[in-house]
Amino acid sequence: MERLIVLDTETTGLDVDNGHKIIEIGCIEIIDRNITENSFHKYINPQRLIDEKAYEVHGISNEDLKDKPIFDDIIDEFILYISDSPLIIHNAPFDLGCLKSEYIQSNRDDASLENSREIIDTLKIARKASPGKRNTLDALCSRYSVDNTDRSLHGALLDAQLLANVYLRMTQGQTLIKGLTETQIDKNLDDNAIINNRKAKIIYASTQEIEEHQSYFKS
């Protein structure tokens, strides 16, 4: 059995070095190339103000989160859910950097995010498959005929669900949820699109990666 977890986060802002925090985590489970109903979704009280630009992206306010758990309250459930499964993330360094920061603040082993699992970065895959094209999530939904009409704002669970469908379509097809048909692409994906974290540690997003994420937010 092959189990994959598609993961997305929303945050108070883009720079964890300046104390920005995760406010939403959404995960979708794929088993043997089938999307299951076993999802993970949490809103999180960041105990700090959300940047105005971030609010414009996801529409989540501090008022929305005032009665939500802090990250430390949900981390064990999250760790249990993802287990040692490979993680599929769009622009992985950003989300992993945010998660690593939260792990450290919660006195958990942040190395568990990096060791003994594969990180599959769909942004790297998309750039390999379609060089020179826009590779935001919205662009990929359009390219692979994934219906994203419900996406007026970014949301971690919705974006993870869309990304799960995109990933299956861009890696040789699968019958998808919501009645989407099977499709294939005839490109061989470079093994470098899959990051083995035992060889490449991901700590925090670089300035370039933050700029790429800002561009992704503007999609």
Query: Which positions are annotated as active-site residues?
Result: 154
Pairing between strand 87-89 and 3-11?
parallel
Q: Judge whether 140 and 167 are in contact, CB under 8 Å.
A: no
- Which region holds residue 27: left if phi is over 0, alpha if psi is between -120 and 50, else beta? beta
Angle made by CA atoms 58, 110, 44, in degrees to the nearest 5? 30
CB burial class (10 A; 0-12, 13-18, 19+) of residue 125?
Answer: buried
- Which region holds residue 135: left if phi is over 0, alpha if psi is between -120 and 50, else beta? alpha
